[in-house]
Amino acid sequence: MGQGLRRGRGREASALAFIALLFFIALVAVGRAEPPPDAGPPEEDPPPADSETAVEKPAVPAGSAPQTRKKAIWGTPSHNGISLFSRYRELGVGIFQTQARWEQIAPLRRPQNPTDPDDPAYTWPAYLDKEISEAESYDMKVTIQLIGTPPWANGWRSWEWAPTLASDFADFATAIARRYPSVDLWMIWGEPNRKDNFRPFTGARPEARKLNRKQRQAPMIYAGLVDAAYEAIKAVNEGDLVIGGSTYFSGGKTEIIRPYPWIRYMRLPDGDKPRMDMWGHNPYSYRKPDFDNPPSPKGRVDFSDLRRLARALDKAFPRRLPLFLSEFGVPTAHDQDFKFFVKPRTSRRWVRAAMRIVRRWDRIYTLGWSVPVDTSRNPQGLMTSELNPKPAFLAFKYG
């Protein structure tokens, strides 16, 4: 009796346990199908990468020099359809320089919302997006030079005439800084101390230290552009750096104001100096760079004169301005701009000497090579037109 009762109760317990197990399985299934209200949406597998938009970081070429901001290169992104960025990375280049021409980006009319890069009056060039993307894929910083006035902003004159209102240029600077937030180096114009590049302009004698009223006009107008652009760019990103001055070392065929008087008279209407973070200069040379060389004649400021240039800047400006040496090169055949050239092995010695100074002197922020590949007009390249390294290539690479 006792044993039979226990067997019956055991069967009942087994049946109840079986029912409970079925109920638990049902709850689990419902829980998997319907998450609790506070669980959030179910996770999904990530979509496959879009092969057209995904940017694959390129490999660093074998034997590349260490990358440094002390080396810059000017905007030749490709040659005969071949990208040059891997060669620039091989050289150790840390800064890629390019140009944004205001008169081409906003050619027809004043933008209705000029600080908005999406204003329909702006036509942003595809080359800028491509160059910035490719440079940054090689971990290079990008410098954009802002230059050229659209006719609606300067009384329907050609591009080298300054805008009537510096505020128009500042609005463009705001728009482009917003368009390219990853860019943090901005150069204001290029060689404005030459009449070919900036007007109104009245040249001065090579040995002139003082400028008359008409000659002062160009550096003073340019000072207003630099200061307006500085304020505009810093309002977008306070950490961006603005390069002013951008002086050419000598004369040539055009009227010019030499760098020293340009520095002296580059001031605002109230007498103050324009704000900037660095002074730009292009220290082309007719001699091997050496700080022991005597001063250049006729007010020229070549590579050997850079210490003298720094002293002039320290005297004129309230803060110590690093030197952004945007353009440099050494012709190895007849050059239409410089009318002189040296043998390739001599160019190697000159470049090695220049790079030694750049590496050792902290006042120099960077040295930019202006013509990476030889052209018929300017055979100053680090490479031949067939992309073969010239002797200066290795001097720049290992300098």
pLDDT in tens, 206-243: 989 999 999 999 999 999 999 999 999 999 999 999 99
- Torsion from C-alpha of 59, 60, 62, 67, nearest 10 degrees: 180
- Backbone φ and ψ for 223, nearest 5 degrees, come out as -55, -40
Residue with tokens 């998450």: 35
Q: What is the pLDDT of residue 65?
A: 97
Residue with tokens 């040539």: 252
Domains in the chain, CATH or no CATH each: 72-398 (3.20.20.80)
- Torsion from C-alpha of 296, 298, 301, 303, nearest 10 degrees: -30
Residues 147, 155: Cα–Cα separation, whole Å: 17
Q: What is the pLDDT of residue 220?
A: 98
Q: What is the pLDDT of residue 142?
A: 98
pLDDT tens across the length of the chain (399 residues): 333 333 333 333 333 333 333 333 333 333 433 333 333 333 334 443 333 334 578 999 999 999 999 999 998 999 999 999 999 999 999 999 999 999 999 999 999 999 999 999 999 999 999 999 999 999 999 999 999 999 999 999 999 999 999 999 999 999 999 999 999 999 999 999 999 999 999 999 998 999 999 999 999 999 999 999 999 999 999 999 999 999 999 877 789 999 999 999 999 999 999 999 999 999 999 999 999 999 999 999 999 999 999 999 999 999 999 999 999 999 999 998 888 899 999 999 999 999 999 999 999 999 999 999 999 999 999 999 999 999 999 999 998
Q: Which residues contact 302 (CB under 8 A, 6 or more apart)?
A: 249, 250, 283, 284, 285, 286, 287, 289, 296
Q: What is the pLDDT of residue 55?
A: 55
- Helix/strand number for the chain, H first, E second: 10, 10
Residue with tokens 């007498």: 271
